[in-house]
Structure 1
Amino acid sequence: MKLIRKILWPVVPIYYAVTWLRNKCYDLGIKKSVSYHFPVLCVGNLSVGGTGKTPMIEYLIKLLKDDFKVATLSRGYKRKSKGFQLADVNSTAESVGDEPFQFYHKFGNDVAVAVDSDRKNGIKNLRNIEQKPDVILLDDAFQHRKVKAGFNILLTTYNNPFYSDFVLPTGNLREPKSGAKRANIIVVTKCPTDLGDAEKDNILSKISPKPYQHVFFSAIAYSNEVFSNDASRKLETLSNFILVTGIANANPLVDFLKSKDLVFQHLNFKDHHEFSKQDILLLEKQPLIITTEKDFMRLKPYESLKTKLFYLPITVVIDHETKFNELIKQAVKRS
Structure 2
Amino acid sequence: MPSWYSYLLLPLSWLYAAVMAGRNWLYAQGWKGSTAFPEVPVLSVGNLRVGGTGKTPHVAWLVEWLLRQGQQPALLSRGYGRRTRGYRLAQPSDTAATLGDEPLQQFRHFRGLVPVAVSEDRVAGIRHLLQREPAPTAVVLDDAYQHRRLQPAFNMLLTEQQRPFYSDEVLPTGRLRESRRGAGRADVVIITKCDPQLSATQQRDIRQHVLRYARPEVPVLFSCYDYGRPVPVPGTAAPEQPGLEVLLLTGIAQPEPLLHYLEAAGYHVRHHARFPDHHVFQLRELRALATQLRPGQCVLTTQKDAARLMEPTLAASMANLPVFYIPIEVRFLADGAARLAALLTPYFPPHAVV
Q: How does 1:255-274 map onto structure 2 within 5 Å?
A: 255-264=260-269, 265-274=271-280
- Is 1:318 aligned to 2:332, yes or no? yes
Q: Which residue number in structure 2 is paired with residue 133 of structure 1?
A: 136
Q: What is the one-letter code of the residue matched to 2:120?
A: S
SS of the equivalent of 1:65 reads helix
Q: Which residue number in structure 2 is paired with residue 12 of structure 1?
A: 13
**Cα separation, 2, equivalents of 1:146 and 1:232:** 48
**Deviation string, structure 1 residues 56-115 (Cα, Å, up to 9, x no partner):** 000011111241111111010010111000001111111100000001111023210000
Q: Which residue number in structure 1 is paired with residue 283 of structure 2?
A: 277
TM norm structure 2: 0.89
**Deviation string, structure 1 residues 133-187 (Cα, Å, up to 9, x no partner):** 1110000000000000000000000001111111111011111111101110100
**Cα separation, 2, equivalents of 1:333 and 1:46:** 31
How far residue 233 of structure 1 moved from its aligned partner, in angstroms, is: 4.9
Could you tell which deviates more after superposition, 85-94 or 256-265? 256-265
**Cα separation, 2, equivalents of 1:6 and 1:247:** 28
How far residue 303 of structure 1 moved from its aligned partner, in angstroms, is: 3.7
Could you tell which deviates more after superposition, 210-219 or 18-27? 210-219
Q: How does 1:116-131 map onto structure 2 within 5 Å?
A: 116-131=119-134
Distance 1:5 1:84, change over 3 A: farther
Q: Which residue number in structure 1 is paired with residue 55 of structure 2?
A: 53
- Is 1:229 aligned to 2:238, yes or no? no
How far residue 292 of structure 1 moved from its aligned partner, in angstroms, is: 0.3
How far residue 2 of structure 1 moved from its aligned partner, in angstroms, is: 4.5
**Cα separation, 2, equivalents of 1:167 and 1:332:** 36
Which residue of 295, 299, 304 maps to 2:317?
304
**Cα separation, 2, equivalents of 1:182 and 1:227:** 41
SS of the equivalent of 2:196 reads coil
Identity of aligned residues (%): 38
**Cα separation, 2, equivalents of 1:53 and 1:272:** 14
**Deviation string, structure 1 residues 173-216 (Cα, Å, up to 9, x no partner):** 11111110111010000000100000101111111142441110
Q: What is the one-letter code of the residue matched to 2:308?
A: R
**Cα separation, 2, equivalents of 1:115 and 1:65:** 20
1:70·1:110 contact (CA, 8 Å) conserved in 2? no
SS of the equivalent of 1:275 reads coil
Q: Which residue number in structure 2 is paired with residue 329 of structure 1?
A: 345
Q: Which residue number in structure 2 is paired with residue 292 of structure 1?
A: 302
**Deviation string, structure 1 residues 28-74 (Cα, Å, up to 9, x no partner):** 11111001111000000011121000000000111112411111110
The aligned length equals 333
How far residue 323 of structure 1 moved from its aligned partner, in angstroms, is: 1.8
Q: What is the one-letter code of the residue matched to 1:331?
A: Y
How far residue 6 of structure 1 moved from its aligned partner, in angstroms, is: 4.1
Q: Which residue number in structure 1 is paired with residue 78 of structure 2?
A: 75
SS of the equivalent of 1:138 reads strand
How far residue 232 of structure 1 moved from its aligned partner, in angstroms, is: 7.3
SS of the equivalent of 2:112 reads helix
**Cα separation, 1, equivalents of 2:131 and 2:341:** 28
**Cα separation, 2, equivalents of 1:27 and 1:233:** 55
Q: Which residue number in structure 2 is paired with residue 39 of structure 1?
A: 41
1:284·1:305 contact (CA, 8 Å) conserved in 2? no
**Cα separation, 2, equivalents of 1:91 and 1:153:** 28
TM norm structure 1: 0.94
Q: What is the one-letter code of the residue matched to 1:266?
A: H
Q: Structure 2 unaligned runs (5+)?
A: none
1:245·1:295 contact (CA, 8 Å) conserved in 2? yes
Q: How does 1:89-238 map onto structure 2 within 5 Å?
A: 89-208=92-211, 209-229=214-234, 233=240, 237-238=242-243
Distance 1:196 1:75, change over 3 A: same
Q: Structure 1 unaligned runs (5+)?
A: none
Q: What is the one-letter code of the residue matched to 1:271?
A: D
**Cα separation, 2, equivalents of 1:227 and 1:329:** 36
Distance 1:172 1:165, change over 3 A: same
Q: Which residue number in structure 2 is paired with residue 249 of structure 1?
A: 254
1:65·1:111 contact (CA, 8 Å) conserved in 2? no
Runs of 4+ in 1 over 6 A off after TM superposition: none
